[in-house]
Structure 1
Amino acid sequence: MTDLKIGVVGIPGKWSTEVLADALEARTGFRCVVDMADAVLDLENRALVANGQNLCGLDGLVIKKISQEYSPATLDRLEMLRFAEACGVRIFSRTRSILGLVNRLSCTVTLANAGIAMPATCVTENIDAACAAVQRFGGAVFKPLFSTKARGMTLMDADEGEAVLRKKIADFKVENPVMYLQKKVNLSGRDLGMVFLGGDYLGTYARVAQTGSWNTTILHGGKYEPYTPDDDLIDLARRAQAPFELDFTTVDVGLTGDGPVIFEVSAFGGFKGALEGASIDAATLYADHVIAGVSA
C-alpha cells in the first residue's frame, strides 16, 4: 500500500474504467473516477476540479476513456487535462500523445510518415474525387474523423452505379465535410488487436465477425479469440505504436492477401479484448506500470 493519489479519467460505471480504478485502489487505498463532463477548469485559481477533487493536486491521472464517443469536444477535454499536466500531475498516456490519435486523420498521417503499411487511403472534401477513389478501389469504407468501434462508418461499393454512389457520398458528407475513405480489404472476417504496455508487447487477440457484418467489432456482433502472431507482425505493430509514445495501447491490424496492414493505433487500448481474447489482465499490469511511473 502506498500513499499515492492516482485518479482514473473514464466513464463511471463502465467496466474498463471501474476495473482500473479497482486495481489502483487495491494498491494505494485511494479511489477517484473522473467524468470530464463534470470537470471545471479554473485558470484564475489554477485548479481543475471534478466532484470536489482538485485534480491538479493528484500524483497521477490515467486516461482510460476521455468521452463516450469521440468528437471535437474530446480535444477540449484533453486540453483541460493538459493544464493539470503542466501543474505537475503525471498523466498516462501524456495528453500530447493522445491528442495525436483522437482525430483519425492525425493518426493516419503519423503512420504514413513513419512508413507503416495501411490500406489505400484518400482524404478529400470533393465529392467527385471521393467517387473516383471508390471506383478506383472497387469499394471503400468511409470513416468519420472522430469515432470509435466503427460507429458512423459506411461501406461504399463501386458497382452500385455512379448516381447511387454520389448520393451516398453526399449524404455522408453532410456530417463529415472532410471525407476519409480507405480501400475495403478482404480480412476473411477477422482482424487483430495487438497489446502494448510502455512500448513492450504483451499479446494479441483476434476479433472475429459472427453475423456476416463487413466489420469485426464487438459492437457489430464480433467475438474475441486468441491469436499467436509471428515476429514480423509483432515488429510491424511495435513500429506503428512507437511514434505515439503511449503508456498503454492496442494496435489494430488487418491480415490481407497482400500482407498485414495497420488500421489504427488506439488512444486508450481495450481491456476486455486483452482479457477475453488473450488472457491478459491489462488493468492490473497497467496499474503497476502507473504506480512505478509516478514513484520514479
Structure 2
Amino acid sequence: MTRRIGVIGTPGKWSTETLADAFADRTGYRQVIDMGRAMLDLDQGRLLCDGVDLCQLDGLVLKKAAEEYSADALDRLEMLRVAEAAGVRVFSPAEAVIRLMDRLACTVTLRNAGIPMPRTVITEDVGAAREALERFGAAVFKPLFSTKARGMVLLEAGAPDAETQIAAFKAANPVMYVQQKADLSGEDLGMVFLDGDYVCTYARVSQTGAWNTTIHSGGKYAPFDPSPELIDLGRRAQAPFGLTFTTVDIALTPDGPIVFEVSAFGGYSGAQKGCGIDAAALVANHVLTQVST
C-alpha cells in the first residue's frame, strides 16, 4: 500500500526538496506543501493547499512552517492540528513544535528540566535590561522569534551607545531576551537526534571572527566526536519536547557545556556536511515505519 506523505517546507529549498525526494523514492508520491498557500475550512474540516486536502494524507513531515519564525508561523502550526484531529500523523507533532518556535517557551522548558544554559534575563523594562547588561559584562539581545542569529544584537557593558541600542532593540522587541555572551572559543555544536535516539554531532566553526558561529554568518561545518556525558546532556535537553527530528545547540565553555536551544526542525544540512549522514533518508524511513504500524 502506497503511503502519501506530504513535506511542509519552503519550495525550492535544499532540505525541503531533499526530504520530498526521499519520500518519492520510497513511495512514488511527492508533495511539497507551502503553508502560506494553505486554506483551513473549519466547517468542512478540510485543510487545502494547491488542491490537496492535507487531512486525507497518511502523514505530514514538518521541515519548515515559515521561512522566518514569527507569531504568524505559530498560526500555521495551529492549522495543522485539524489534520492531526482527522487522524493524520504529523512529524514532529504540531504542539511540540509550537513549544519551540518562541525562544522564551524553549528556554523556560529547558530551565525547568535543569539543563545548563547561559545566564538569561527576560524583561519589558529598559532599566532592568540595562542592569542585566552591566551584570553580564557582555550580552546578546535576542528576538523571541528568529533563526540563524537574525535580529540579535551583541552589546558590551559600558559602550557609549548601549542605551541607544537597547532602546532600538526594545522598539522592535517589546519583550527583551537578554543572555550573557558565552565564550564559544570559535565553535559550537549541533547534536542530532531522531525520535530521541542520538545520531551524530557536528561543529559550526567560525571563519570570519564573527561573534556567532552560524552558517548564516560565515561559519563552516566540521565533524565532532562528543563524550558520552555530552551526548547524555543533549538527550536530556531534547527529551521534554517529543520531537521526531531535532538538533540541540551546545557550546563548550570554560565553565562546562551549556545548551542554547533545541531546534524545532533539525539541521539536515549540518548532518550531511558535518557528519556525512543523510538525515532525509533517516527521517523518511522512520516516518514510513510509523505510519505503517
What displacement does 1:279 show? Answer: 1.1
Q: Report runs of 4+ in structure 1 exceeding 4 Å deviation.
A: none
Show the counterpart of 1:172: 169
TM-score (norm 1): 0.98
What CA distance in whole angstroms lies between the structure 2 residues aligned with 1:141 and 1:224? 23
Please state whether the residue corresponding to 2:108 is helix, strand or coil: helix
AA aligned to 1:142 is F
Q: Deviations over 1:90-128 (max 9, x none)?
A: 000001100100000000000000000000000000000
Task: Note the residue ranges of structure 2 that are not aligned, 5 or more in a row.
Answer: none
Q: Structure 1 unaligned segments of length 5 or more: list them.
A: none
Q: In structure 2, how many angstroms separate the alpha carbons of the residues matched to 1:188 and 1:159?
A: 23
1:242 to 234, 239, 243: 239
Distance in 1 between the 2:87 and 2:67 partners? Answer: 27
Instruction: Report the CA distance between 1:167 and its aligned residue.
Output: 1.1
Query: What letter is aligned with 1:8?
Result: V
Deviation string 1:63-116 (CA, Å, 9 cap, x unpaired) is 000100001001100000111111110000001100100000000000000000
Aligned runs of 1:28-43 on 2, under 5 Å? 28-43=27-42
Q: What corresponds to 1:207 in structure 2?
A: 204
- 1:177 and 1:188 map into 2 onto residues whose CA distance is 31
Q: How many residues align?
A: 293
- Where 1:91 maps in the other structure, the secondary structure is strand
Aligned position for 2:255: 258
Deviation at 1:45, TM superposition (A): 1.0
Separation in 2, partners of 1:58, 1:185: 44
1:197-243 deviations in Å (ceiling 9; x for gaps): 00000000000000110000000000000000001100000000000
Look up the match of 2:215.
218
Deviations 1:134-169 (A, max 9, x none): 1000000010000011100000100314xx211110
- Structure 1 counterpart of 2:275: 278
- 1:233 paired residue number: 230
Q: Which of 165, 175, 194 lines up with 1:197 in the alignment? A: 194
Aligned counterparts of 2:236 and 2:58: Cα–Cα separation in 1: 30
Distance 2:99 2:267 in 1: 18
Secondary structure of the residue aligned to 2:68 is coil
| Secondary structure in 1 matching 2:158 | helix
Shift of 1:44: 1.2
For the residues of structure 2 that align with 1:166 and 1:294, how far apart are their CA atoms? Answer: 54
Aligned-pair RMSD on alpha carbons? 0.6
Take 1:165 and 1:26, find their aligned partners in 2: how far apart are those partners? 54
CA distance in 1, matches of 2:33, 2:155: 39
Residue in 1 aligned with 2:284?
A: 287
Q: State the identity as a percent.
A: 62
